[in-house]
Amino acid sequence: MITKLDQIIDAAKLKGKKRLVAAFANDSHTIGAASMAIDAGFVEATLVGDIDTIKKVCKEEGIDFNKFTLVQEANEQGAANLAVKLINEGKGDFLMKGLCTTDKYMRAILNKESGLMPGGKPVLSHVTVFEIPSYHKLLVTSDVAVIPAPDFKQKLALTNYVIATAKVLGIETPKVALIAATEQVAVGMPACVDAALIAAMGNRGQIKGAIIDGPLAMDVAIDKESADIKKMKGEVVGNADCLVWPTIEAGNVFYKTATKFAGAELAAMVVGAKVPCVLSSRGDSTLTKMYSIALAALSCK
């Protein structure tokens, strides 16, 4: 079982090289992370962007640009579209966001004619894996960037996505906490009602491969002492592997708080498309983007 983010890199190496395509890769963090992943031996990388800018950044960072396949497209949306096209042509195994904005990146993925969405009506979502110094293991959490207010069906999909990601990390039976403002089933709070229904579905085997509990307040989900004080019992309380947020605000605030106040490091990707799609903030560090590349590479089929 993987318990630290750097172990994802080792696991990705064992799986063999995967082909990364980076959209609008004009920035030092994207180029640096892709370079590190190449040097670590688990990816080959195609950078789509302005080649002169990429070469300039490589020179400034002391990176040999010859280690990449470079594809010219100076327009931001055009670069995102072209990166997706390369994936669809079989020239890459997973996608990565470079300096393009999230809305342009997602627009390229979601395009009905040329994007990366499989048939049917799949839910496109976001998964983050946190390594938080004060927590005793990795923590896999649901969407902080894509779905503002998930409905019940979307929450089911989000639950299954965090379970699948936890299994990629070698957690055989993930413990999933459905987060709300209280662990009481308060009928006036939709987050509590949805959580209780999803937990019941897990108990009846309608959601496979995990132990699911909810609603759970955040303290009960991750702190055993709080659970004991509140007389909460169960395999999930105080020991969650996965957290499913009720809204994007809850998840995004946790994301920013964990990284800015608690010194957390992370890996993040979009799931539900034909391939994993690395999605980290443009301001995230090179190391964060490296871990995200490794998580996506490990998640490739």
Are 256 and 291 within one domain? no
Instruction: Say whether both 27 and 140 belong to one domain.
Output: no
Predicted local confidence at residue 282, as pLDDT: 65
Asked whether residue 129 falls in the same domain as residue 233, the answer is yes
Mean pLDDT rounded to a whole number for the chain: 95
Residue 129 has pLDDT above 90, yes or no: yes
Q: What is the pLDDT of residues 255-299, one digit of tens each?
A: 999 999 999 999 999 999 999 999 877 667 889 999 999 999 999
C-alpha span between 87 and 275 (Å, rounded): 8
- The answer to whether residues 32 and 65 belong to one domain is yes
Does 281 map to a domain? Answer: yes
Alpha helix (H) residue ranges in the chain = 5-15, 28-40, 51-61, 76-88, 102-110, 152-168, 190-203, 218-222, 224-229, 248-260, 286-299
Counting residues of the chain whose pLDDT is more than 70, the rounded percentage is 99
DSSP string, 125-166: EEEEEEE-TTSSS-EEE--SSS-SS--HHHHHHHHHHHHHHH
pLDDT score at 280: 77
Residues 248 and 285 in one domain: no
Contact 124, 273 (CB under 8 A): yes
Is there a single domain that holds both residue 84 and residue 138?
no
Indicate if the alpha-carbon torsion angle 255, 191, 137, 161 is positive or negative: negative
Confidence of residue 48 (pLDDT cuts 50, 70, 90): very high
Considering the domain architecture, whether residues 90 and 11 belong to the same structural domain is answered as: yes
CATH code at position 230? 3.40.718.10
Q: What's the pLDDT score for residue 118? A: 86
Considering the domain boundaries, does residue 295 fall inside one?
yes
Q: What angle do CA 153, 157, 159 make, to 5 degrees?
A: 115
Tens of pLDDT along 66-122? 999 999 999 999 999 999 999 999 999 999 999 999 899 999 999 989 999 987 778
- Angstrom distance (rounded) from CA 122 to CA 71: 30
Question: In the structure encoding, which two tokens stand for residue 39, read together?
Answer: 């040097």
Residue 113 sits in the same domain as residue 83: yes
**Which structural domain range is residue 55 located in?**
5-117+273-299
51 with 57: CB under 8 angstroms?
no
For residue 75, the model assigns a pLDDT of: 97
pTM for the whole thing?
0.93
In a domain, 194, yes or no: yes
If asked whether residues 226 and 131 sit together in one domain, one would say yes
Dihedral sign for Cα atoms in the order 151, 153, 157, 163: positive
268 inside domain: no
27-36 burial, b if ≥16 CB within 10 A, otherwise e?
bebbbbbbbb
Question: Which tens digits make up the pLDDT trace of 146-168?
Answer: 999 999 999 999 999 999 999 99
Residues in the chain: 301
In a domain, 56, yes or no: yes
Q: Go through 168-192 and write b for each residue having 16 or more CB atoms within 10 A of its CB, e for each that does not.
A: bbebeebbbbbbbeebeeeeebebb
pLDDT at 258: 95
Read off the CATH number of the domain in which 106 is found: 3.40.50.10950
Number of folded domains in the chain?
2
Residues 63 and 89 occupy one common structural domain = yes
110 and 141 together in one domain:
no
Q: Are residues 189 and 290 in the same domain?
A: no
